[in-house]
Structure 1
Amino acid sequence: MRENGPKRSVTGVLVKVLVHRRDDRGMVLEPFASRCVRRGEVHELVTTDHDETAAGSRIDRVGFLGFLEVTAAGVIDRGDVLHVEGRPVGTVLGFDGCHLPNHYNILVATPAPRTGPELGLLPEQRIVFRQPDRY
């Protein structure tokens, strides 16, 4: 059964760059394939080379990109493509809620965990979560 239709992109601005990585982080994938985000919320961007999407999957190998402030509310879905300043970075793997209600960790699948400086990230860069071209 087809569940998802077209949607607008979720946009944001990078507010803090993170520089570290971990191989033992122990994040846990939430059982949700999507999360609604509101304008003004701040969430963390985390890269990983894990590819499991089952609820409860443990995510250990991570690189931290930074925090974004949402500028246009919407729905972020597993499989959306994260862009920074128009460059694709990876696809949304899922969400970890260990810091709720403060923020979500938005897990982004990349070939290898990457940090903010490795991608040349800077505060105020434009962030976009874009639905893959399916329509």
Structure 2
Amino acid sequence: MNPHEDGPKREVPGTLVKVLTHRRHDRGMRLAEFTSRCVRRGEVHELVTTDQAGQPPGARIDRVGFLGFAEIGGAGVIDRGDEVWVGDHRVGTVLGFDSCHFPNHYNVLIAVERLLTGPELDLKPEAELTFRQGQPQPQPQPRPATTERRPA
């Protein structure tokens, strides 16, 4: 995301429709190449926490905690770096998206210090949530491939 191209935007509201209770350390999600997604009112997307913050697009995300599914309450744009709030509690920031289930839904990956699940945040169906514009996040660059030099 280029901070010179990122203007103000509206908050994206949502409502939790299903609580999820599990975590995995071998999930194999992939951060999508694009760091923003347009969402429509009525769509349902999965909220997933990860402690693997700072990963570049294309990175494999294995350590995840599942919060639940949320219905989008109003169309908008969700960007990497946006804050995710449930009520007045800040959960974390959007790390990116995994589209392995798309077009059914996106996995919205939320960077947190430690993996969280729905019950650990005392989530209940109908809980109100909000995606709020955060500070532009620098794009991590993929590490260049190392070339091995062999003696002549």
Same fold (TM over 0.5): yes
Q: Give % identity.
A: 64
Residue of structure 1 in register with 2:123 after alignment: 121
Task: Flag the structure with higher strand content.
Answer: 1
CA distance in 2, matches of 1:52, 1:88: 19
Is 1:17–2:42 an aligned residue pair? no
CA distance in 2, matches of 1:55, 1:130: 21
Q: Which runs of 5+ in 2 are unaligned?
A: 137-152
TM-score normalized by structure 1? Answer: 0.96
3-state DSSP of counterpart to 1:118: helix
Residues 5-51 of structure 1 show CA distances to partners (whole Å, capped at 9, x for unaligned) of 00000000000000000000000000011000000000000000001
| 1:27 pairs with one of 6, 29, 33 | 29
Is 1:55–2:63 an aligned residue pair? no
Is 1:88–2:55 an aligned residue pair? no
Bigger Cα Rg: 2
Root mean square deviation of aligned Cα: 1.2
Do 1:53 and 1:94's aligned partners in 2 also have CA atoms closer than 8 Å?
no
How far 1:56 moved relative to its partner? 1.0
Amino acid at match of 2:27: R
How far 1:133 moved relative to its partner? 6.4
Amino acid at match of 1:42: V
3-state DSSP of counterpart to 2:73: strand
Do 2:49 and 2:110's aligned partners in 1 also have CA atoms closer than 8 Å?
yes
Residue of structure 1 in register with 2:109 after alignment: 107
Q: Which runs of 5+ in 1 are unaligned?
A: none
Structure 1 stretches of at least 4 aligned residues deviating more than 4 Å after TM superposition: none
CA distance in 2, matches of 1:54, 1:61: 15
CA distance in 1, matches of 2:117, 2:130: 18
